[in-house]
Amino acid sequence: MTYFADKHPLLADIFSRYPDSPQGRRSALMPLLREVQNAEGFVSEARMREIADLCGTTATEVRSVMSFYSTYHTLPTGRYHLQVCSTLMCALAGSDELWDHLVSVLDVQPGDVSADGRFSVQKVECLGSCGTAPVVQLGDEGYYENVTRQKCDRLIAALRQDAPPPPDNPVPVTVREDGRQMTAAGERVGASIHDRKPLPAGGDR
Amino acid sequence: MSVLDIAKGMGVTLSKLFQKPVTVSYPEERVTLQPRFRGRHVLTRHPDTGLEKCIGCSLCAAACPAYAIYVEAAENDPLNPTSPGERYAKVYEINMLRCIFCGLCEEACPTGAVVLGNEFELADYRYGDLVYGKEDMLVGVDGSLPQRREAARTGRPLRRGFRVEGGARPELEGVEYPS
Amino acid sequence: MTVADPAPKPITSGKDPRFAPSLYAHVGQPGSWTLEYYRKHGGYEGVRRAFAIGPDAVIDEVKKSGLRGRGGAGFATGLKWSFMPLNDGKPHYVICNADESEPGSFKDRYLLSEDPHQLIEGMLIGGYAMRASVGYIYIRGEYVHAAERLWGAIEEARAAGLLGKNVLGSGFDFQLYVHRGAGAYICGEETALMNSLEGLRANPRLKPPFPAAAGLYGLPTTINNVETFCAATQILKYGADWHASMGTEKSRGMKLFQISGPVARPGVYELPLGTPFRELIDDWAGGPLEDIKAIIPGGSSCPMLRWDEATLDMPMDYEAIAAAGSMLGTGGVTLIPRSVCIVNATWNLVRFYAHESCGKCTPCREGISGWMVRMYEKLVRGRGVPGDVELILDMSENIGGRSFCALADACLGPVLSSIKLFREEYDALAETGQPLYPARSRWRES
Amino acid sequence: MKVTIDGIPVDLPAGTSALDAVFHAGRDVPYFCAHPYLSPVGACRMCLVEAGTPRKGKDGAFELDEATGQPKIFWMPKPMASCTLQATEGMHIRTAKTSDVVAKAQAGMMEFTLLNHPLDCPTCDKGGACELQDRAFEYGYGASRYGFDRRHADKHYALSDFIILDQERCIHCKRCVRYFEEVPGQEVLDFIERGGHTFIDTEEGGLPVGFQGNIADICPVGALLDNVARFRGRNWEYDHTPTTCTLCPVGCSITVDARNGRLERVVAGEHRDVNEVWICDAGRFGHVFATEERLTVPLVRVGGELREATWDQAIEAMRQGFSGHGSNVGLYLSADSTLEEGAALVALAEAVGTPSRDHWPRYPHTPMSTATLTDVATADALVVLGADLGEEAPVVELRILEALRGGLLPAEFAHGTAIADLRLTERPARTPEKLAVIGRESRLWRHAGLRVPAEGPDLLARLARPDTPDLQAALRLLEEAEKPVLILGADVLNGADTAFSAALSGLAGRVGAKVLVIPAGPNSRGLGGLNLVPGAGGLPYGRLGEVGAAFLSRLDPAAQGLPGRARGFTVVHDTHLTATAQGADVVLPAVTNYEKRGTTVNLEGRLLPLAQAPLRAGEGADLIRALVAVAEALGVRSPVRGLRGAQAWLEARYGLRLAELPAGGRLQPPRPPQDAATGLAHAPQLWKPRMLPRPERRGSGVPGREARAERWELPLAPAPQPGGDD
């Protein structure tokens, strides 16, 4: 049974985002790959062929595109695929130790799945969380940020209970409700945009 | 010409008369060769695996100024390879009548497979028998074609009419010459 | 529009009593991502004004504001918008580059997740000005949370008649879609991004033709950064003069500066261009937590600057940093502590570029991905020999300016600057095999 | 447009790439990813040059250099890849010859390219003809400073029966990937992974047979190699013979590489008007029959068995066999024979006075082509009627696809075809709506905007008066286009007659279309014009069984399911012991078209020369010489006794001057072929069973020592004593 056989509304929605042309059809390739991966954890060769037919291309091209991007997998991953950012900003916050800790505690190497089928790990490049480093991404779910040793252990324990905590998204900004920023000294300086009036829509010429 | 000159000449003759003669009564006696003497080619093997060093690249044939070498390559059977890698020489022939023993083939060889040995007793009767194939040159095959033929006919061990001072060159891996 | 004269001195400090954060004014507030919240705070006023003044006036307004692209290169946005052909009968596209992958940059992530309507409005303005009826937001695949917020916001906007046919009764049709990337830094390059959007390998394309002539699907396309579109929203809302009143002569407006590394309050700060490093680091971010030796001024591709008084006093604008031999980039400031081996830190970044090289051109694929990263690995593992640094320098000469796109040059930013500034650390490693600053754990316990 | 290269001024058309400007000026710049018939991509970065342009001041005039008074050249800050840089008016370019920056940049780039390239040139079939080898020698440092292990990847990985891939050798120039996308329009090969891990692979379970072999030609290194010619010889050992392929009526330019009398490899030649540089897989790989199981001596049936004989014995046998048949002799030849051979056969037939002469395959009536392949490539509408181009004329398919991606003919310079044609783009936009295919399903269907499944000889009539919306659309396509071309194939031509021709020219005239008729055989267009069809009372090939005695040249009716013999005496002239030859009375050894000199006519009516490759053919003779023997046996003297004689005969009879044919041939309005019923339908088939590769049969031509050791005992007696004993 093909994956998309009974998902016509989903397909229609994805294809509707792109022009109705051979090139536009091809654009659906990445969303379709993402759909399959989110459902099955990886993209098998049969799925590649299926996506190729849907996009009007060949399995070679699908594999080519897929292998270009680092978040698609051709091999099954664990139920919890933990991606650790290893780029400089996280490394300055200890992501190397975090990685070593994860690998040894979970007893799993990149490319493998732990014995209980729960965990797989991957070192990834900058996840855009440099202000809240270090960061661990769980599959295609979300980030855990400011992962200290204790937080890491809590996270692993929760995952072992199959109770993943909701991803957190701390916002490292200092603009307050009044629209003013606060300096490190706790001082509110500058003005608030709330006090400015938008220009009238009728134009000001 | 003065008498003195004649005496001088006779003196040389006289002095040589009592020295040991340098003439070697070849072939009854073995002639002594220097290791760098260039005789017929040897195709060497890798000493540890026994695989042929020749990969059939034809560079020796390209380098040969006398067009004496002919190589035909083929793909190795991965389970039972003749040489390391993908390619080996299925046919490797040197026409010893054409060969001028210049050694350029040896220089061109990227794997050190073809090395000029010290054997020079190649005289034979038919043109075709002077075209040496792999079977005649691989290391372990001693002597020239007529020598081997004679040994086979008489049942006596093959005999070479030379010795090499200090033995074969190191490049001639696995070749032994009487020293 | 009247020109205010005599021109008051532009605002070049976040502490200036006149300066008000606008891009991030709502980021972090509860419910800031909803249409209801956004409308309550003057949402979609900018696009209303755009519809009122007409597309050409919008481009003029953006030109007048002095806005420069916030994605790193700093190209004048108004000028870029004016490159789009007029009335050529072809569909036009606007694309928002939300593939924020530059190490050290994380400003767009919060704009996307906390204030998505600001971006939607900015894209409506851009689409209207450039006669585009379809917009795509290319968001990096890892920003799941942000993508979900965006989807929700687009649904809300569509339901409210802000997207689709005849937006706000203006007669302008605009569709907006989100396209998720899948983990490739090179997609931040605009032509690679278009290839990725077309379902191809994200190799950069040949320029010319430039996207404004033949971009997505071979049609005129303009790509801007998230912050640029958001700034356009603010410009249309509050006027070009207001925007131009901030910053320095050639670098106008506010900018989102990000700071990471060992500081008390790492995060995003909205400050006018021209704010000195010292103010960002000390007053806003609370000062460094340890002894610092280098500062990366704008994302990992920008050459490092030495941590000294001159650098701290340097205004953060395009010109001043360029004069110092680096770039403002995305404004992602990273502090590198004294105790970190600079060769190791640079290796980390080189590894990043080696991993992210698309493999299209030889100097990047072989030079960086094949050779440079191994040279660094060799040095860091203590197997370096004297002469390795010279080899790296010579190799850099053969890579720099020879590659197809700017990724290879970006990698050379940290390489060359770190060698220039900290040659003694390299030499020590190459000669003794021991780093001057041995590694130690940097992971916080709690 | 004036451009200056290393101080050499040249005048170039606008739009020229800097790379072509350099070559046009007689200078050199290394390149790997650029290819004359593929889009420039600028990936290998080898073709770096320094470039500078004059700049116009505010007044519109060039800013002048104060010292020289000449326009001041503003040099670009970094070297540019010349393959993707467009030369502009007044541009100055410096190559490695005059610029140290460029020389260093190229040497550095070469070092990078060689970083992971294995040092297995001695075992690599590309060695000696390798662009990387040559360029590394010319532009490299000479030594690498890379002190690490090279990348290891799959070596000798078969992509198909014909193509073998060595991923270690790949330098990622992307020529093969672009080739498949841009030329045959098949996305079957692509890069996998990214960065330093990138490699080439297919996920389709092998490359499609059709045009895959071309990637072995265009690969600048030994990554993609011809598996049929694998390890057969080094490039400098081959005898290269440029000639024309005669497997189908296209007449592609090829080079036959022979070694030691064996045909080891066929590579494509460049003919800008015919095949550009692409040939089909059959033409490239289907040559194995030329060296396998060839007939090398005449065979004569003695006591019911074919025995080896001399030519004299064969002539004697033929003399006896033909006697009593008088002029009731049928002379038949294969339609891939040369014009000269055809002339010899006609001349003999006339001397004997037999009307039974024929060539096969042919159609009873072949309408005239008015289109050339260039017309096809530049057409703005194409209708293919009843043709399976994959079987009939594969390269026409590529020219059609060329039209669909814009119909840009390659520009030509002093150095030949433009190497980096900036008009070509990667992943070109195709216009399938320009192509309508009417007929049975074929490979071309994928590319057609309009597909009409239909068959039968009445297709033309139905197209002229369309009865379905699809056919109406096809006719409208022809009507609305300015340069339409109509291509006709076997399915409609098998039933063609003069009325068909009239209808065809009527339709073509009405819509302003040119017509390309695909003849049945490789040279049947040329042979048909020589009156090589049955005369009054003559029997066509299809009625061989009714002829008294017959001579068949390289025809195998028995394999077609026809009677393999004439009523009486049968002589077969062939390269192999075919089913027909096995039943013949006398078999004469023939030579293949790779070993012939002569002239063939392709589907456009272009006279193309054949050259003789040095293959071992024993006593094999071409048809002209074989017919001399037959004439002798028949007791007549043919006026054509050699190639020169045949050409003189052709000139005297038809005014065809073939003696000084240029290498690229000559387009000549051909003589209309004579009509004659065939009694047979022609079913085109490109791959004949004997063309399929059979590696197990490809032994060496050299006998082993074992065979020679048998002969150790000399005929001299007694055995001479080798001197010396201990």
Of the pLDDT bands very low, low, confident and very high (cuts 50, 70, 90), residue A23 is: very high
Mutate which of D102, D194, D421, D423 to disrupt the C interface (most C C-beta within 10 Å)?
A: D194
C-beta atoms surrounding D419 within 10 Å: 25
Chain C neighbours among A 85-114 (CB < 8 Å)? 86-89, 91-98, 101
- Across the interface, whether the CB atoms of D115 and C360 are under 8 A apart is answered no
**Of all residues in chain A, what percent carry a pLDDT higher than 70?**
98
| Average confidence (pLDDT) over D387-400 | 96
Contact by Cβ (8 Å): D44, D171: yes
Of residues B66, B71, B64, the one with CA closest to residue B137: B71
Chain B interface includes D700 (CB < 8 A): yes
SS (H, E, C) D668-709: CCCCCCCCCCCCCCCCCCCCCHHHCCCHHHCCCCCCCHHHHH
Contact by Cβ (8 Å): C19, C11: yes
In chain C, what residues touch D146 (CB-CB under 8 Å)?
371
Residue D59: predicted pLDDT: 85
Q: What is the DSSP string of chain A?
A: --TTTT-HHHHHHHHHTS-SSHHHHHHTHHHHHHHHHHHHSS--HHHHHHHHHHHTS-HHHHHHHHHHSTT--SS---SEEEEEE-SHHHHTTTHHHHHHHHHHHHT--TT---TTS-EEEEEES--S-GGG-S-EEETTTEEE-S--HHHHHHHHHHHHTT-PPPP-----B-B-TTS-EE-TTS-EES--GGGSPPPPTT---
Cα distance between residue C354 and residue C58, in whole Å: 41
Q: Is the pLDDT of residue A182 over 70?
A: yes
Establish whether chain C is in contact with chain A, requiring a minimum of 3 CB pairs below 8 angstroms. yes
According to DSSP, the residues that pair with D415 across neighbouring strands are none
- For A178, the closest chain C residue by CA position comes to C25
CB nearest A92 (choices: C20, C185, C442)? C442
Q: Give the pLDDT confidence of C175-200 residue by residue, as tens digits.
A: 999 999 999 999 999 999 999 999 99
CB nearest D43 (choices: C360, C391, C400)? C360
CB nearest B27 (choices: D705, D708, D724)? D724
CA distance B54 to chain D (A): 10
In chain C, what residues touch D42 (CB-CB under 8 Å)?
206, 361, 404
- Across the interface, whether the CB atoms of B134 and D155 are under 8 A apart is answered no
CB pairs under 8 A between C and D: 102
| Average confidence (pLDDT) over D161-181 | 95
Q: Which pair of structure tokens corresponds to residue C166?
A: 């005849």
Contact by Cβ (8 Å): D10, D25: yes
Residue B153: predicted pLDDT: 86
Of the pLDDT bands very low, low, confident and very high (cuts 50, 70, 90), residue A1 is: low
Cα distance between residue C278 and residue C256, in whole Å: 16
| Average confidence (pLDDT) over C264-288 | 96
CB nearest C354 (choices: D44, D196, D427)? D196
CA distance B179 to chain D (A): 16
Chain B interface includes D143 (CB < 8 A): no
| Average confidence (pLDDT) over D111-129 | 94
- Given the structure tokens 């993943």, which residue do they identify? A164
Chain D interface includes B148 (CB < 8 A): no
Burial class (CB in 10 A: 0-12, 13-18, 19+), D75: middle
Of residues D33, C214, C176, C356, the one with CA closest to residue A23: C214
Containing C358, the helix (H) or strand (E) segment is none
Chain C neighbours among A 18-57 (CB < 8 Å)? 18-19, 21, 23-24, 26-31, 33-34, 55, 57
Contact by Cβ (8 Å): D643, D337: no
User: At C29, phi and psi to the nearest 5?
Assistant: -80, 145
Of residues C271, C208, C234, the one with CA closest to residue C21: C271
Residue C5: predicted pLDDT: 56
- For C195, the closest chain D residue by CA position comes to D427
Chain C interface includes A134 (CB < 8 A): yes
Residue A3: predicted pLDDT: 93
CA distance D483 to chain A (A): 26
Of residues D503, D516, D120, D586, the one with CA closest to residue D315: D586
Contact by Cβ (8 Å): C47, C117: no
- Across the interface, whether the CB atoms of A68 and D194 are under 8 A apart is answered yes
Least trusted range by pLDDT, from A135-139, D128-132, D495-499? D495-499
CB nearest D195 (choices: C359, C401, C404)? C359
In chain A, what residues touch C42 (CB-CB under 8 Å)?
198
In chain C, what residues touch A174 (CB-CB under 8 Å)?
265, 267, 269, 284
CB nearest D194 (choices: C200, C359, C367)? C359
Contact by Cβ (8 Å): C198, A30: no
Residue D674: predicted pLDDT: 83
Of residues C414, C435, C413, C438, the one with CA closest to residue C425: C435
Chain B interface includes D717 (CB < 8 A): no
Mean pLDDT of chain D: 92
CA distance A23 to chain D (A): 9
- Across the interface, whether the CB atoms of A60 and D193 are under 8 A apart is answered no
Mutate which of A64, A70, A74, A125 to disrupt the D interface (most D C-beta within 10 Å)?
A: A64
Chain D interface includes B67 (CB < 8 A): no
In chain D, what residues touch C361 (CB-CB under 8 Å)?
42-45
Containing D81, the helix (H) or strand (E) segment is strand D80-81
CA atoms D316, D320, D326, D329: torsion sign: negative
- Which DSSP state fits D99? -
Contact by Cβ (8 Å): D396, D487: yes
- Across the interface, whether the CB atoms of D203 and A57 are under 8 A apart is answered no
Of the pLDDT bands very low, low, confident and very high (cuts 50, 70, 90), residue D707 is: low
- Across the interface, whether the CB atoms of C206 and D84 are under 8 A apart is answered yes
Establish whether chain D is in contact with chain B, requiring a minimum of 3 CB pairs below 8 angstroms. yes
> Pairing between strand D190-192 and D586-589?
unpaired
User: At D2, phi and psi to the nearest 5?
Assistant: -95, 130
| Average confidence (pLDDT) over C230-246 | 95
CB nearest A63 (choices: D186, D192, D194)? D192
In chain D, what residues touch C366 (CB-CB under 8 Å)?
112-113, 115-116, 196
Cα distance between residue D627 and residue D629, in whole Å: 5
CB nearest D122 (choices: B59, B91, B159)? B59
Neighbours of chain D (3+ CB pairs under 8 A): A, B, C
In chain A, what residues touch D191 (CB-CB under 8 Å)?
64, 68
Cα distance between residue D266 and residue D592, in whole Å: 14
Q: Give the pLDDT confidence of D525-569 residue by residue, as tens digits.
A: 999 999 899 998 899 999 999 999 999 999 999 998 898 999 999
**C-alpha distances out from residue D169 to A50, A82, C179, D221, Å:** 32, 36, 37, 7
CA angle centred on C438, ends C434 and C444, rounded to 5°: 160
The 3-state DSSP class for residue D263 equals: strand
- Across the interface, whether the CB atoms of A60 and D194 are under 8 A apart is answered no
CA distance A98 to chain C (A): 7
In chain D, what residues touch B56 (CB-CB under 8 Å)?
123, 231
Which residues of D make CB contacts under 8 Å with A?
186-194, 201-204
pTM of the model: 0.94
Q: Give the pLDDT confidence of B51-72 residue by residue, as tens digits.
A: 999 999 999 999 999 999 999 9
| Average confidence (pLDDT) over D2-22 | 95
Q: Please state the ipTM of this predicted complex.
A: 0.93
Cis peptide leading into D609, omega within 30 of 0? no
Residue C446: predicted pLDDT: 83
Residue D719: predicted pLDDT: 47
CB nearest D188 (choices: A58, A62, A68)? A58
Residue A205: predicted pLDDT: 42
Of the pLDDT bands very low, low, confident and very high (cuts 50, 70, 90), residue C86 is: confident
Residue D706: predicted pLDDT: 60
CB nearest B149 (choices: D236, D712, D724)? D712
Cα distance between residue A152 and residue A98, in whole Å: 8
Cα distance between residue D459 and residue D495, in whole Å: 11
Q: Is the pLDDT of residue C115 over 50?
A: yes
Chain C interface includes A138 (CB < 8 A): no
Q: Give the pLDDT confidence of B25-36 residue by residue, as tens digits.
A: 898 899 999 999
Q: Give the pLDDT confidence of C299-324 residue by residue, as tens digits.
A: 999 999 999 999 999 999 999 999 99
- Which DSSP state fits B34? -
- Across the interface, whether the CB atoms of C238 and A196 are under 8 A apart is answered yes
Chain D interface includes A21 (CB < 8 A): no
Q: Give the pLDDT confidence of D439-479 residue by residue, as tens digits.
A: 999 999 999 999 999 988 889 999 999 999 999 999 999 99
Residue D500: predicted pLDDT: 93
CB nearest D231 (choices: B75, B133, B153)? B75
Least trusted range by pLDDT, from A69-83, C258-272, D38-52, D695-709? D695-709
